[in-house]
């Protein structure tokens, strides 16, 4: 012993529990400073920026085709949403109209992606509430969808499906049948997952937890299932149809719940799985003929995009994803801005967490389905606390514009 | 002398069986989830690996308590597993050793809890307070469920005395009297909470408070803290089997082989108890919140054990 005395005192009236940046409940780093009083959360501080990757700046150094592969890597779950959004903006700038079949195939992969994303999320949610068996079951079900991706596009995660003016891979009759068969299997599994989530122990953990009322949801501009769980009837697929959603408008409906708690958000996602399966079956039934991509080289398509700017929105599995794209007319990008759905939803977390219990933090955080490294667009540097900002700014200047 | 030798031999046996039982539990858990699961020997590898690692002491901890707590915890729960084994083998036991066994199990929980809270980590502190609540939740019905057995076996609190009174009756306590049947149900319902598995793993809930009181432990100390937990669930399932389900025609064994044979038979059947009370709950339930867990403990098991005490006092 060194002889020094050490005081060990806990101020239980206001204990600061660091939640993250490294925490088993978080798939990715984010830091919540949680002020707790016994088991009750009294305040929450949020800090983002641990995994800022500089994707926007990097995209400005590349040409449009290269940037497509880059934006696909913004997210490891909704990769197709990002390319669809990006390519939507490019096609708007270049006034390029993809063929009907290409749009349907884009939509098909988009919905398959929503399916696997929601299944993944249901598994994560089960894990957060300590229900490992359901986690395993959900992930096993999701595997069927990933296998479909692999067969359709050759890749399980980053599908590289979109090109300017079309898609890369076609579906033959055998594959159409196979997707249909898988869908009925997934539907059965999803039915079981729904039944398990209706179990009392699960409901007890989720209902009344992480409340976000309709007014707050609207005020904080939440999107996607988070907003729909609070009763906001919002869905880009209906409001601003892209790809083939305009033609498919009648084949799906917006799922909303008014309770605004974690259970409502769970229910929204479960029922969206069924909506998605219906839509996939509809797409398979109505798949039009024709070519899937323009008969010209990628470079030629790229060069047909003039100087211009566009905003593009898609309904990613987590909500509205927004891209602002400004092209330079020479096959490059002048500016790219990505607003991922999590950024819109994460500000609602403070509201949801305050007044809750420590035990609910992982459930509430998971309930918005955060995708954090996709969200990290900026790194905030406190210049008063250290001079780390200066070298970073200098490095930024070196990147060409 | 023979009893002492049996106890000494039972200590390594209890360690071995605790780890083996964890392996069986993990395998069954995995199979029920549709996974292949780790080999049954995995806990032995884990234990050996952790023993060879470095123990890190956080600067905010009070080192003496932090370091000694897992050692005492492991020692108590291994002893709690070894005493019943030894008494079955030797065919004898000390007066009141059943109370000792149950208090050793409590001791093990309390020591891990104190060790966690001495780490100076806020998660450890939350784990401490949650474990405290859980302890109050399950200890009362657990202890109360033993009373009817004592009343039915000439007011004995000797473990071997209670087991032998089942031999005298020719049937096991779970089916002998209504009171002891309720007691068996209460005891079984308490095991998941006492063993600290899902749905009652609130004190260490890894997605909420990062393993709570275990958060700062690593290396040999973590190995011992985990061994303490394994030994506790082994001891609990072994106790449940021998106190309530020691069916004489099944477990008495051959006279020539004596106590050893019945001890081996009991060990062979104890995984069934563990499967029912540890593996199945943790496979089919989600984790409860601490309030919900406490409410459960004080509703179902407490009612059952209170009922059994009242019934046994009334002579049923």
Our CA-based measurement puts residue A53 at a distance from the nearest CA of chain B, in whole angstroms, of 27
Rounded distance between C-alpha atoms, residue B279 and residue B277, angstroms: 6
Q: Is residue A179 part of a domain?
A: yes
Establish if A13 belongs to a structural domain.
no
Alpha helices (runs of H) in A129-199, residue ranges in sequence order: 132-153, 173-197
- Report phi then psi at B182, rounded to 5: -65, -40
The pLDDT score that the predictor gives to residue A11 is: 54
**In this predicted structure, what is the pLDDT of residue B18?**
92
Structure tokens at B228: 């303490």
Which secondary-structure segment (H or E) carries A32?
Answer: strand A31-37
Q: What are the tokens at B169?
A: 């009756």
Q: Quick one: average pLDDT of A154-179?
A: 88
Q: Given CB atoms, is A297 within the 8 Å cutoff of chain B? A: no
Nearest to B208 among A8, A25, A126 (CB): A25
* Cβ contact B145:B308 at 8 Å: yes
Tokens read off for A16: 């600061």
d(CA A252, CA A233): 13
pLDDT level of residue A392 (50, 70, 90 thresholds) = low
Element (H, E) at A45: strand A40-47
User: How confident is the model at residue A83, as a pLDDT?
Assistant: 92
User: What 3 state SS string does A47-103 have?
Assistant: ECCCCCCCHHHHHCCCEHHHHHHHHHCCCCCCHHHHHHHHHHHHHHHHCCCCCHHHH
Half-sphere exposure of B43 (CA within 13 A, CB side): 23
Is-contact A60 A336, C-beta < 8 A? yes
A393 — pLDDT class (breaks 50, 70, 90): low
Contact status of A209 with chain B (Cβ, < 8 Å) = no
CB B287 within 8 A of CB A130: yes
ipTM score of complex: 0.78
Chain A residues touching B285 at Cβ < 8 A: 131, 201
Any CB–CB contact under 8 A between A201 and chain B?
Answer: yes
Query: Contact B289/A361, CB-based, under 8 Å?
Result: no
Would the pLDDT of A382 be above 80?
A: no
Residue A19 sits at the chain B interface (C-beta within 8 Å): no
Testing the interface with B: which of A7, A17, A132 to mutate, by most B Cβ within 10 A?
A: A132
pTM of the model: 0.80
Smallest Cα–Cα separation from B282: which of B17, B30, B21, B16? B30
Average pLDDT, rounded, for chain A:
84
- Residue A334, classed as helix, strand or coil, is strand
- Min CA distance, B188 vs chain A (Å)? 20
Collapse the DSSP code of B207 into the 3-class scheme (helix H, G, I; strand E, B; otherwise coil) and give the result. helix
What is the residue range of A180's domain? 55-356
CA distance B225 to B232: 11
In this prediction, residue A115 carries a pLDDT of: 92
Helix B219-244 to helix B63-90 angle, to the nearest 10 degrees? 30
How many CB atoms neighbour CB B169 within 10 A?
Answer: 16
Residue segments in chain B with a per-residue pLDDT below the cut of 50: none
Which is nearest to A20 in space by CA: B113, B207, B116, B119? B207
Half-sphere exposure of A100 (CA within 13 A, CB side): 9
Is residue A262 classed as helix, strand or coil in its secondary structure?
A: helix
Residue B293 contacts A, CB cutoff 8 Å = no
Enumerate the residues of chain A whose CB falls inside 8 A of the CB of residue B205: 130, 359
Q: Tens digits of per-residue pLDDT, A323-360?
A: 999 998 888 888 888 888 888 888 888 888 888 887 78
- In this complex, do A23 and B199 lie within 8 Å of one another by their Cβ atoms? no
Q: Which of A7-21, A278-292, B184-198, B201-215 has the lowest mean pLDDT?
A: A7-21
Q: Is A275 inside a domain boundary?
A: yes
> Residue A268 maps to which CATH number?
1.10.645.10
Residue of A nearest to B296 (CA): A201
Structurally, chain A folds into a number of domains equal to 1
DSSP code at position A271: H
Query: Which residues, including other chains, have CB under 8 Å from residue A281's CB and lie 6 or more apart?
Result: A180, A183
Contacts of A201 in chain B (CB under 8 A): 199, 285-286, 288
| Predicted pLDDT of residue B19 | 93
- Chain A residues in contact with B36 by the CB 8 A cut-off are none
**What is the pLDDT averaged over residues A35-61?**
84
Residue A370 distance to chain B (closest CA, Å): 15
pLDDT interval class at A3 (50, 70, 90): low
Comparing CB atoms, the residue among B32, B62, B286 nearest residue A205 is B286
Q: Are B97 and B161 in contact (CB under 8 A)?
A: no
Tally C-beta pairs within 8 A across A and B: 83
Higher per-residue confidence, A386 vs B201: B201
CB neighbourhood size of B168 (10 A): 10
Closest-CA residue in chain A for B210?
A24
**pLDDT above 60: residue A397:** no
Strands A162-163 and A40-47: unpaired
Q: How far apart are CA A243 and CA A100, in angstroms?
A: 9
Q: Is the pLDDT of residue A401 over 70?
A: no
Could you tell me which of B77, B48, B112 has the C-alpha nearest to residue B238?
A: B77
Residues of B in contact with A16 (CB under 8 A): 122
Contact between chains at B33 and A361 (C-beta distance less than 8 A): no
Flag whether residue A33 sits within 8 Å of chain B, measured between CB atoms.
Answer: no
Q: How far apart are CA B180 and CA B240, in angstroms?
A: 12
> Does any CB of chain A come closer than 8 Å to the CB of residue B292?
yes
Strands A31-37 and A15-19: antiparallel
Element (H, E) at A328: strand A319-328
CA distance, residue A29 to nearest chain B CA (Å): 14
Cβ-count burial B7-26 (b if 16+ within 10 Å, e if not): beebbebbbebbbbbbbbbb
- A187-220 tens-digit pLDDT: 999 998 888 888 877 787 788 888 888 888 888 8
**Chain A residues 181-200 within an 8 A CB cutoff of chain B:** 199
Domain boundaries, chain B: 2-313
In order of A118, B189, B244, B296, B308, the CA distances from B303 in angstroms are 41, 11, 18, 10, 8
B60 contacts in A (CB within 8 Å)?
A: 6, 8
What confidence category does residue A383 fall into, taking pLDDT thresholds of 50, 70 and 90?
low
Residue A132: its chain B contacts at CB < 8 A?
Answer: 33, 198, 282-283
C-alpha A390/C-alpha B19 separation (Å) is 55
Asked if A129 is an interface residue toward chain B (Cβ–Cβ < 8 A), one would say yes
Task: Please check the confidence at residue A68 and state whether its pLDDT lies above 70.
Answer: yes
Binning pLDDT at 50, 70 and 90, where does residue A1 land?
Answer: very low
* pLDDT in the model for residue B78: 92
Distance CA B43, CA A369 (A): 34
- CB-based contacts of A255, cutoff 8 Å, min separation 6: A228, A267, A268, A271, A272, A275
* Higher pLDDT pick, A149 / B265: A149
CB B242 within 8 A of CB B90: no
Testing the interface with B: which of A8, A128, A353 to mutate, by most B Cβ within 10 A?
A8
pLDDT tens digits for A225-239? 999 988 888 888 888
């Amino acid at each position: 012993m060194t002889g020094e005395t050490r005081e060990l005192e806990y101020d239980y009236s206001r204990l600061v529990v660091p939640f993250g940046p490294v925490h088993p409940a978080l798939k990715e780093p984010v830091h919540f400073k949680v002020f707790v009083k016994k088991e009750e959360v009294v305040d929450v501080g949020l800090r983002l920026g641990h995994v800022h990757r500089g994707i926007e700046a990097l995209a400005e150094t590349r040409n449009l085709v290269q940037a497509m592969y880059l934006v696909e890597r913004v997210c490891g779950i909704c990769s197709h949403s990002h390319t669809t959004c990006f390519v939507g903006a490019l096609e708007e700038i270049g006034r390029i109209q993809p063929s009907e079949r290409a749009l349907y195939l884009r939509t098909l992969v988009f919905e398959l992606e929503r399916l696997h994303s929601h299944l993944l999320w249901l598994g994560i949610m089960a894990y957060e509430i300590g229900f490992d068996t359901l986690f395993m079951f959900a992930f096993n079900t999701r595997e069927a969808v990933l296998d479909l991706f692999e067969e359709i596009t050759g890749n399980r995660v980053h599908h590289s499906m979109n090109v300017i003016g079309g898609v890369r891979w076609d579906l033959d009759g055998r594959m159409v049948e196979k997707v249909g068969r898988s869908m009925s299997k997934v539907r059965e599994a999803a039915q079981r997952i729904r039944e398990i989530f209706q179990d009392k122990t699960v409901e007890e953990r989720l209902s009344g937890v992480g409340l976000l009322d309709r007014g707050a949801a609207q005020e904080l501009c939440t999107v996607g299932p988070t907003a729909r769980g609070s009763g906001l009837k919002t869905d880009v697929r209906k409001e601003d149809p892209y790809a083939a959603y305009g033609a498919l408008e009648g084949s799906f409906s917006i799922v909303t719940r008014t309770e605004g708690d974690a259970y409502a958000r769970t229910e929204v996602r479960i029922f969206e799985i069924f909506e998605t399966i219906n839509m996939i079956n509809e797409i398979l039934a109505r798949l039009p003929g024709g070519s899937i991509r323009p008969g010209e080289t990628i470079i030629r398509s790229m060069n047909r995009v003039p100087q211009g700017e566009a905003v593009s929105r898609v309904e990613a599995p987590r909500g509205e994803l927004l891209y602002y794209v400004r092209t330079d007319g020479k096959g490059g990008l002048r500016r790219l801005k990505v607003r991922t759905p999590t950024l819109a939803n994460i500000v609602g977390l403070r509201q949801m967490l305050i007044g809750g219990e420590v035990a609910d933090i992982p459930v509430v955080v998971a309930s918005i389905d955060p995708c954090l490294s996709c969200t990290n667009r900026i790194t905030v540097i406190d210049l008063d606390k250290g001079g780390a900002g200066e070298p970073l700014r200098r490095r930024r200047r070196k990147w060409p514009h | 002398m023979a009893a002492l030798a049996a106890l000494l031999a039972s200590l390594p046996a209890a360690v071995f069986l605790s780890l083996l039982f964890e392996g069986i539990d993990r395998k069954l858990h995995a199979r029920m989830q549709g996974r292949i699961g780790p080999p049954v020997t995995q806990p032995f590898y884990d234990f050996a690996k952790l023993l060879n690692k470095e123990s890190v002491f956080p600067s905010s901890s009070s080192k003496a308590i932090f370091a000694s707590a897992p050692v005492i915890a492991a020692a108590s729960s291994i002893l709690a597993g070894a005493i019943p084994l030894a008494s079955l083998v030797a065919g004898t036991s000390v007066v009141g050793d059943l109370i000792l066994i149950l208090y050793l199990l409590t001791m093990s929980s309390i020591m891990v809890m104190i060790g966690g809270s001495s780490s100076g980590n806020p998660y450890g502190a939350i784990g401490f307070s949650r474990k405290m609540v859980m302890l109050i939740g399950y200890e009362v019905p657990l202890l109360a469920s033993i009373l009817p057995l004592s009343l039915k076996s000439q007011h004995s609190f000797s473990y071997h005395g209670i087991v032998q009174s089942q031999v005298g009756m020719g049937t096991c306590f779970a089916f002998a009297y209504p009171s002891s049947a309720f007691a068996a149900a209460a005891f079984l319902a308490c095991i998941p909470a006492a063993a600290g598995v899902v749905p009652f793993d609130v004190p260490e809930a890894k997605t909420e408070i990062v393993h709570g009181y275990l958060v700062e432990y690593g290396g040999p100390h973590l190995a011992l803290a985990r061994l303490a937990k394994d030994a506790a669930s082994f001891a609990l399932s072994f106790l449940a089997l021998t106190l309530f389900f020691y069916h004489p025609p099944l477990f008495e064994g051959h006279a020539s082989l004596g106590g050893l044979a019945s001890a081996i038979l009991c060990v062979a059947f104890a995984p069934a108890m563990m499967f029912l009370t540890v593996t199945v709950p943790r496979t089919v339930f989600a984790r409860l919140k601490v309030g919900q867990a406490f409410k459960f403990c004080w509703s179902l098991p407490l009612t059952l054990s209170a009922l059994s005490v009242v019934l046994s006092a009334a002579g049923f």
